Structure 1
Amino acid sequence: MSEPSQQIHHINPSDLETFVHNILVGNGVSKEHATTISNCLVQADLRGVDTHGSNRIPSYMKRVRQKVLDPSATPELTQITPVVASVDGKNAFGFVSAHLGMERAIGMAQDFGIGMVSIKHSNHFGMSAWLVQQAIDAGMMSLVFTNSSPALPVWGGRSKLMGVSPIACGAPAGTERPFILDMAPSIAARGKIYKALRRGEKIPTDWALDGEGNLTDDPARALEGVMLPMGGPKGSALSIMMDVFSGVLSGSAFAGHVTNPYDPSKPADVGHFLIAIKPDLFMSLEDFKSRMDYLYQRVVGSEKMGGVERIYYPGEIEQITRDKRLVEGIPFTRAEIEALNEEAEVVGVERLRVE
């Protein structure tokens, strides 16, 4: 039998979004911005990316109380050329800056075929796939880059220098599922280690090294060490690419100087890079979507290797999880719910209730 603190309870997605929204407003976030942030966090929960969902609220609120994240800031957008814009995040929530940036990128792409936005002085924006989905909902293809605090050594090194910054992209389809890629350059996202620590679980021994450079299955020791890049030098090179496009280009922190979200000493100064592309630039939209549907069918219908029951398209497992959780609710441990309710009590909003 599992410990009471680790027993799973399912929360209605709508109730969870309202709960998160109220906590944010109680901490000085405007209702408009709170709507954006709470929706993004719950979208991560729905897709099964629990490491980047509502469980992040305690760490975000701690940064607000430590005054290293400005809950009331309004990002500032500057148009550079007809197809290029920049956003100064003003140390607001990364969700707000990135949502504004993708909105502008989509608008430029609708008018000119492509839109590019560079974002500086931002913060963690959770799961990258929500930005890809924002573009897909507008009928757009997209590229989404960000940098992050040091967690990964460069290939051949042993100290933290690069972030485990995700690379994400996507494209709409016709009747089949859209293409959504959202992956970290490490073997596993660092958020999965925080999740294992929170739940008292072990991690696979190929995810990270401890502070002495040894493989470990202990999430606490892993957080003292470094993440391991996927594909050796290839994962390392991807993490450097994220820093070039997100940090160097934007004017934000880079080369290991992005502040860890759990470090209360100073603002994070994260950079992002977003591109939206109109998919019917070279053919009709009908032809494009038909070709995307054909690609999906070819991928999932491929001949399977031994032991494989089903082939999934990138992003498909998360979309299936979303469909399931919309009906069944989002799973949380009792300990996770208690941590969220502690934040509710701080600002006097109604607690999450579980049976």
Structure 2
Amino acid sequence: MSTKGCLIPLNEIRRFITDSMVSAGAPKAHAAMMGDVLALADYRGHFSHGLNRLEMYVKDVRTKSTDAFATPVVVQEKSAMALVDGKNGLGPVVGNFCMDLAIKKAADTGVGWVSARGSNHYGIAGWYSLRAMAKGFMGLSFTNSSPLVSPTRSKAAALGTNPITLAAPGVNGDSFVLDMATSTVAVGKIELQQRKREPLPVGWALDKQGHITTDADKAMEANCLMPLGGAEETSGYKGTGLGLLVEIFCGILSGSKYGPFVRNWKHTTENANLGQCFIALDYKAFGSGFEERLTHLLSTIRAMEPADPEKEVIVPGDPEKWHMKCVNEDGGITYHRNQIDALIKLAEELKIEPMKAIN
């Protein structure tokens, strides 16, 4: 293997994640759902939410802070809406159940809105919006998370990274796929910088004194990210507002834990009880031409003259498509050597076969 990077085939990544979760104590079907979500994250270039997250899920199952065998149940519902209790199950198991229910309701009524409580970290939010889009719907999803983000003017964290995703189809495979945290970055990106021993960009995180820091160790010690926009003078209050919007859709609406009352990051002495939201919309109910109009808009934006001639104008979803194209051409995903070393140790601990690299 190269000391600079290790190329791993996509099917080998799924296999390793599934084997890891089964060894930790999850049933094969639920472990495979985790494998699908985490592998897709790295395939799309969201390395903060792929293999980087595996050790956390394994620990949650082994300590039984997550019930790997749990299946969600519908608590109450109407024609277009439902409230689901995730029963403290694995996040992707809860998320797939909820989005599939939202899709079914959208097929019947034009829209399906499902709120979940009793869930856990569900991976990249985009997995669920893409799941709806693959069935011919517009998909949205939101989730709250452990308090990691400082509201504007605060030196302590009180909100989660609270992501927002929307997937909408255009024509000929074109699409708009937004998948973003309402913090400046996801905490996983801080972890990756810490693994690589590289500094953070200014505006990502605060230290324990509430000062902006570029030191990944100090940022992880404080567990305090900045809201989207960064400081108040660069409109961080807008990120705070978006984080609260997600919290209302998730924690407040479902009756789960919310805001600073969600358990701290990686603490497994209590259930996470996350709140999540899943929406499927039948855009065809509004008449014809949606895909064509969307692609026309996206194409118009892409065709604009760039400020830097070497960097073309892009829209959400474009970088992920390029990354997936590169992965397909390379025959796998390249990981930092430090990431692979950590997973070799995990494989030894779980007594499973480590990932086989191409180089």
TM-score (norm 1): 0.94
Question: Partner residue of 1:311?
Answer: 313
Q: Give how far 1:314 is off.
A: 0.8
- Asked if 1:246 is matched to 2:273, the reply is no
Q: 1:156 aligns with which of 142, 149, 153?
A: 153
Q: 2:95 aligns with which of 90, 95, 98?
A: 98
Question: Which AA in structure 2 matches 1:326?
Answer: N
- Structure 1, unaligned stretches of length 5 or more? none
Question: Partner residue of 1:112?
Answer: 109
- Asked if 1:75 is matched to 2:72, the reply is yes
* CA shift in 2, pair 1:212/1:5, >3 Å: farther
Question: Partner residue of 1:167?
Answer: 164
Q: 1:351 aligns with which of 330, 350, 354?
A: 354
Q: Secondary structure at the match of 2:260?
A: coil
Question: Partner residue of 2:232?
Answer: none
Deviation string 1:232-282 (CA, Å, 9 cap, x unpaired) is 110011111111110011111012111234112211111101110011011
Work out the CA distance in 1 between the residues paired with 2:339 and 2:310. Answer: 34
Question: Which AA in structure 2 matches 1:281?
Answer: A
Work out the CA distance in 2 between the residues paired with 1:337 and 1:309. Answer: 31
Question: Partner residue of 1:323?
Answer: 325
- Asked if 1:294 is matched to 2:306, the reply is no
Runs of 4+ in structure 1 deviating by more than 6 angstroms, as ranges, are: none
* CA shift in 2, pair 1:164/1:15, >3 Å: same
Number of aligned residues: 350
| 8 Å CA contact retained: 1:40, 1:130 | yes
Question: Partner residue of 1:122?
Answer: 119
Work out the CA distance in 2 between the residues paired with 1:65 and 1:136. Answer: 34
TM-score (norm 2): 0.93
Q: Give how far 1:77 is off.
A: 2.7
Q: Secondary structure at the match of 1:70?
A: coil
Matches within 5 A, 1:1-355: 7-225=4-222, 226-229=224-227, 230=229, 231-284=235-288, 287-307=289-309, 309-328=311-330, 329-354=332-357, 355=359
Deviation string 1:118-150 (CA, Å, 9 cap, x unpaired) is 010111111111111111111110221110111
Which 10-residue stretch deviates more, 300-309 or 140-149? 300-309
Which 10-residue stretch deviates more, 255-264 or 215-224? 255-264
Q: Give how far 1:176 is off.
A: 4.6
* RMSD (CA atoms): 1.7
| 8 Å CA contact retained: 2:137, 2:168 | yes
Work out the CA distance in 1 between the residues paired with 2:107 and 2:70. Answer: 28
Q: Give how far 1:13 is off.
A: 0.4
Q: Secondary structure at the match of 2:354?
A: coil
Q: Give how far 1:79 is off.
A: 4.9
Q: Secondary structure at the match of 1:256?
A: helix
